[in-house]
């Protein structure tokens, strides 16, 4: 029986077992995908056991706080994980542990599905400069968005990303937001702004380009305060749940040999789980 894991600390809130379990059933594969809580101090041993072939696994997903360490410990890191400095998907091939990062794919595939043509954007604004923002910037640069403006409370973090990702990426402090939305055709939120009980900052989307899209990579709640504002101002929006679902596709294919599809049944399954557990 082929087995794969998701490891993190904590990992019990991960929805990956639900997603992969659904695909295993759908394809009648006698495989298993399970959560492996591993503390930071035990992660190197976990990876060493995986590499030695003594663990039951062919590979798995890696989540917070192990993504950077996974990238350092893998034998063969592909160019995307290398550039992001973080891996979320591992697999063994002839005893060699490979690592990639599927978050940028998940981001782009979600928008391909729900708002085709999004990738024609010439100017995009990305709010936030954390780990998740990197994958978004990578995806935008990869599809040729000419101007990518990263806006962050801590300017230095945005500047670090601009330095890392090259000439199309520009760093700005928060007060620049209003001006930057002018003529932009894509706005991506990667922060928890407006959640955790704080009030969302008012964002005026009215000067964005005709047909502009606002999307969020946060998916709990599905309609984030920023998406709610964009909708009330008449803009098209896409929620972040599809990014979670699509980032899981390449890993499942590596471990279990079938490329699964993100469909409405899967989406409904995860939404029902979110409603049960919050």
Total binding residues toward ligand ATR, as defined by CB under 6 A: 14
- Min. distance of Cβ 203 from ligand ATR in angstroms? 12
Q: What is the Cα–Cα distance from 138 to 214, expressed in whole angstroms?
A: 18
Q: Which C-beta is closer to ligand ATR: that of 47 or that of 158?
A: 158
Q: What is the Cα–Cα distance from 110 to 241, expressed in whole angstroms?
A: 8
Residues with Cβ < 8 Å from 180, sequence gap 6 or more? Answer: 125, 149, 151, 172
Q: Does 101 bind ligand ATR (CB under 6 A)?
A: no
Q: What is the Cα–Cα distance from 171 to 148, expressed in whole angstroms?
A: 9
Q: Which C-beta is closer to ligand ATR: that of 192 or that of 231?
A: 192
Q: What is the DSSP letter of 224?
A: -
Q: Does 63 bind ligand ATR (CB under 6 A)?
A: no
Q: Does 231 bind ligand ATR (CB under 6 A)?
A: no
Q: Which C-beta is closer to ligand ATR: that of 49 or that of 154?
A: 154
Positions annotated as catalytic residues are 67
Dihedral over Cα of 179, 185, 191, 192: its sign: positive
Q: Which C-beta is closer to ligand ATR: that of 127 or that of 213?
A: 127
Give the SS3 label for residue 177.
helix
- Choose which of 68, 131, 222, 271 interacts with ligand ATR (CB under 6 A): 131
Q: Does 114 bind ligand ATR (CB under 6 A)?
A: no
Q: What is the DSSP letter of 236?
A: E
Q: Within 10 Å of residue 259's Cβ, how many Cβ atoms?
A: 11
Q: What is the Cα–Cα distance from 117 to 150, expressed in whole angstroms?
A: 21
- Choose which of 152, 181, 189, 215 interacts with ligand ATR (CB under 6 A): 152
Q: What is the Cα–Cα distance from 88 to 7, expressed in whole angstroms?
A: 10
Residues with Cβ < 8 Å from 163, sequence gap 6 or more? Answer: none
Q: Which C-beta is closer to ligand ATR: that of 21 or that of 85?
A: 85
Q: Angle at the Cα of 26 (from 135 to 4), degrees rounded to 5?
A: 55
User: Contact letters (x/-) for ligand ATR, 177-196, by CB under 6 A?
Assistant: -------------xxxx---
Nearest residue to ligand ATR, by Cβ distance, number only: 130
- Min. distance of Cβ 148 from ligand ATR in angstroms? 15
- Choose which of 106, 128, 250, 251 interacts with ligand ATR (CB under 6 A): 128
- Choose which of 129, 186, 241, 245 interacts with ligand ATR (CB under 6 A): 129
Q: Does 132 bind ligand ATR (CB under 6 A)?
A: yes
- Min. distance of Cβ 215 from ligand ATR in angstroms? 15
Q: Does 130 bind ligand ATR (CB under 6 A)?
A: yes
Closest among 113, 126, 107 to 186, alpha carbons compared: 126
Q: What is the Cα–Cα distance from 187 to 125, expressed in whole angstroms?
A: 5
What are the Cα distances from residue 176, in Å, to 65, 91, 171? Answer: 31, 42, 10
Q: Which C-beta is closer to ligand ATR: that of 82 or that of 131?
A: 131
Q: Which residues make up the interface to ligand ATR (CB under 6 A)?
A: 128-133, 152-154, 157, 190-193
């Amino acid at each position: 029986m082929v087995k794969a894991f998701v490891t993190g600390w904590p990992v019990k809130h991960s929805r990956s077992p639900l997603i992969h379990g659904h695909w295993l059933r759908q394809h009648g594969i006698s495989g298993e995908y399970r959560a492996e809580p591993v503390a930071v101090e035990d992660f190197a041993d976990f990876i060493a056991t995986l590499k030695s072939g003594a663990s039951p696994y062919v590979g798995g997903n890696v989540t917070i706080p192990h993504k950077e360490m996974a990238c350092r410990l893998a034998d063969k890191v592909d160019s995307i994980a290398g550039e992001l400095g973080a891996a979320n998907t591992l697999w063994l091939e002839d005893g060699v542990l490979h690592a990639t990062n599927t978050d940028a794919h998940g981001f782009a595939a979600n928008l391909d599905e729900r708002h085709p043509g999004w990738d024609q954007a010439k100017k995009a604004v990305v709010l936030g400069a954390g780990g998740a923002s990197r994958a978004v910037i990578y995806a935008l640069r990869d599809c040729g968005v000419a101007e990518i403006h990263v806006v962050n409370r801590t300017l230095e973090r945005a500047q670090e990303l601009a330095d890392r990702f090259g000439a199309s990426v520009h760093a700005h402090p928060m007060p620049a937001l209003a001006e930057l939305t002018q003529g932009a055709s894509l706005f991506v939120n990667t922060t928890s702004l407006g959640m955790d009980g704080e009030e969302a900052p008012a964002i005026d989307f009215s000067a964005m380009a005709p047909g502009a899209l606002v999307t969020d990579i946060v998916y709990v709640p599905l309609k984030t305060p920023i998406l709610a504002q964009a909708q009330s101002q008449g803009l098209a929006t896409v929620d972040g749940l599809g990014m979670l679902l699509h980032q899981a596709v390449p890993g499942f294919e590596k471990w279990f040999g079938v490329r699964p599809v993100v469909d409405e049944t899967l989406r409904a399954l995860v939404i029902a789980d979110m409603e049960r557990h919050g």
